[in-house]
Amino acid sequence: MQAKQIVARVEELVRPLCEQAGVSLWDVEFEKEGGQYMLTVTVDHPEGVNIDQCEKVSRALDPMLDAKEFDDMPSYTLCVSSAGLARRLKRPEHFEAFMGQTIEVGLYKALNGAKQIEGTLAGYDDGAVTLDVGGERIVFEPKDIAAVRLAVEI
């Protein structure tokens, strides 16, 4: 199974488990980190996620991943966690939910000396992110974006 297939199948399996645990599925990633594969299931809830909810999803999903369909999957570590305050925005529905909020766009190459640009999310179209930065609209193309996160103000 390829990484995209693994992610798609895990999403199918974990979505009802999340509902049972009282959370919603935010994202699933299967990536190699430092020589080890990580299967990360990120969950969310408007009032926050607690460790018991993460554990409930993890314990229900773990035996499903032992099924024969995952036999050719490389060795991995399963992590179920909260999307958190500085959550990564990746899907169109993520951007829709946080339109008008302050976000941070991480860039591969610096723009005017900065690799992190903070502003108000003003638009999202097929991967392109539009920010309002001090009254100026800036459009970032998908090829230039390393990551987009909600900005956390402390």
Contact 117/97 with Cβ under 8 angstroms?
Answer: no
Side-chain half-sphere CA neighbours of 118 within 13 A? 6
Of 154, 149, 83, the residue nearest 119 (C-alpha): 149
pTM of the model: 0.83
Query: What integer pLDDT is reported at residue 33 of this predicted model?
Result: 87
pLDDT for the residue 152: 85
Condensed to tens digits (0 to 9), the pLDDT of residues 28-47 reads 999 998 889 999 999 999 99
DSSP string, 50-104: -HHHHHHHHHHHHHHHTSGGGTTSPPEEEEEEE--TTPBP-SHHHHHHTTTSEEE
Give the mean model confidence (pLDDT) for residues 55-82: 93
